[in-house]
Chain A
Amino acid sequence: MSRRGRLSLFAVAGGGLAAVLVIGFTGLPNFGDYHGVYGRVIDGIGVTLRHGTDLITLLNFDVRAFDTLGEEFILFASVLGIVLILRELRGERQEPQREEAEEHSLGGASSVLRALALILVPGLVAVGVYIVVHGQITPGGGFQGGVILATAPLGAFLAGRYLRMKAIAPHLVIEFGEVLGAVGYALLGLSGLVFAGIFLKNYIPLGISGHLLSGGQLDVASVFVGLEVSGAFLIAWTQFLDQAMLLKGDRQ
């Protein structure tokens, strides 16, 4: 198609989209003028009925916990896809690059920067764990904490030691953590079916609102999701890192 043809097609489509957007936006309520019922209901029952002070986590892991189950398995399946595509193929080999990977140097990274990256590792682990287990009290939860946890081993990589990173986060442990997170969340739901008659029913004692062990299943679900998410991100990153650092060879 010629350039003029493409442009005229874009003009028609773009104009239509703009018209629909303008009509849609003029129908929206004014800024800060919320009329929904759902939000007010959640506001009302969150602390009184479920003893969770972070309503987003309450929504994710209790009121709409079933949606989270689906999202968790979407993540699981997409990481499975990455592993499948980036696996070691015939014709590829782990080159003598191993030594280079052991002491690879990131261009321009000073020793201060590398030391700083190593110092960050324990701090990232602490922040990640904190955010996972305090999900029901303060902002954060399984997903946010899980991603932060996953970045911790990257500190070892930034310090210039990729194989050391694999040593502190071995593949088997990461995979086991991810599977445990996915299966654990599903089993938590099934246990609700067994002990309370409803899938993902929050039957665990609710505790005192604002305490670390409160909100019933919120904390348990948060830990499982944290395991799953940190495992998923680490698997994806190590697959990419293996490709970039270790594997050589041409794919025919």
Chain B
Amino acid sequence: MTILQVAALAAVAVGGGAVVLSPDPLRQVIVLGIFGLALTMLFFVFQDPDVALSEIVVSTVGLPVMVLLALRKVKEHERQREEQKPGKQT
């Protein structure tokens, strides 16, 4: 095993833990993107450029777009519900 491979494995281990431990979903998405980049490096140094190519696009663009838009929709819902609550009481 080369030093690069050990470094990539360590980065994935640290990144995976960081994703789980991030408290705020919004920040979690960003950390997830960085974790995806670490995974891409892992696949690349273990000589699998095909999977690395898929991983880099899916993890840095594909997944974050969906999660971010879903978060925006959820926040909008919460705001609407809070606006409606006082109206019903009066």
**A contacts, CB < 8 Å to B:** 31-32, 54, 56-57, 131, 139-141, 143-144, 147-148, 150-151, 154, 233, 236-237, 240-241, 243-244, 250
Contacts and interface: CB of A to CB of B under 8 A. Distances in A.
A57 B51 CA distance: 11
Contacts of B80: 250
B57 A147 contact: yes
Interface stretch (B11-19, B22-30, B31-39, B59-67): B59-67
B70 interface: yes
Contacts of B70: 240, 244
B7 interface: no
B73 A236 contact: no
B54 A243 contact: no
Tell me the interface secondary structure of chain A in the complex: helix
Interface residues of B, number: 21
B50 A244 contact: no
A57 B70 CA distance: 34
Given A31-B1, A233-B62, A250-B80, A139 B69 contact: no
Contacts of A31: 1
The majority secondary structure among interface residues of chain B is helix
B73 A54 contact: no
A234 to B, nearest CB: 11
Interface string B64-78: 011001101100110
A114 to B, nearest CB: 17
22 contacts: A31-B1, A32-B1, A139-B49, A139-B53, A144-B50, A144-B53, A144-B54, A147-B54, A147-B58, A147-B61, A147-B62, A151-B57, A151-B62, A154-B61, A154-B65, A237-B65, A240-B65, A240-B66, A240-B70, A243-B69, A243-B73, A244-B70
